[in-house]
Amino acid sequence: MFDTAVPWRVFRWYRKQRHFSGSYWSATMEAPVGYESRLEYANLLLADFDPRVEWILSQPFLLEGIDRGTPRKHIPDYLIAHADHSVCVVDVKPADKLHLPRVRDSLEWSRRVIEAQGWEYRVQSEPDSTLLVNVQFLAGYRRRFQFVAVEVAAAVEELRAPMTFGEAVRAATPIAGDPRAARSLVLHLLWTRQLRTNLTQPMSTTSLLEPI
């Protein structure tokens, strides 16, 4: 039902804009997905990295109704569909604004309306800073079309035992042809979740990688 859906409103960029809007090329969608703030971008990036996510739409629809006598309108930030066909509607708000009555009441109303449809509703704020930095770095290697499928498959076979990042690059070098290409290949496997490491710690050549 979401295949032909488009964002409810147009993203705008103008001088002295208070928020940094933009467009992010999503590996999940293989297409650009919009965001209206850096915080939305951070949470969009993590959704794109989540292997359970199969579909992402920004500004998906308008909620309009009466909340205990108060008229309300609200456009959620993202609608996410998962591989198990479950749906999650996401609002992104800074943590220091969640206690404000206007924000709190609007989000609580949105939760009641959306969960009544059998969908999950989630409010997301600032993610772990180290996790975000690591995922943002890995996102540079997210595009599947930049990698040779045969080399990716061979690297997956070669890296079937736990090893450090430096060891993985050395093991993949004969496959990729040189160390720089091998490094990119290993980072691509981390983005595509064919390898894993602890992303809540700064990445280095000694980071332990494990196959999934």
Q: What is the pLDDT of residues 48-79, one digit of tens each?
A: 999 999 999 999 999 999 998 889 999 999 99
Residue matched to tokens 């290409």: 181
pLDDT at 6: 80
Q: How far apart are CA 20 and CA 8, in angstroms?
A: 19
Output the CA angle 183-43-25, nearest 5 degrees. Answer: 60
Could you tell me where in the chain the CATH 3.40.1350.10 domains are found? 22-124
For the chain, list residues with pLDDT below 50: none
Q: State the pairing for strand pair 163-164/120-124.
A: unpaired
Tell me if 63 sits within 8 A of 74, measured CB to CB. Answer: yes
Q: Which residues are CB-neighbours of 7 under 8 A, at least 6 positions away?
A: 34, 57, 58, 59, 60
Residue 89 token pair? 């509607």
pLDDT at 13: 67
Query: What is the tens place of the pLDDT at every residue in 101-119?
Result: 999 999 999 999 999 999 9
Q: How far apart are CA 139 and CA 134, in angstroms?
A: 9
Domain 22-124 = CATH 3.40.30.10: no
Q: How far apart are CA 125 and CA 142, in angstroms?
A: 24
Where does residue 4 rank: exposed (0-12), middle (13-18), buried (19+ CB within 10 A)? exposed
pLDDT at 32: 94
pLDDT at 1: 65
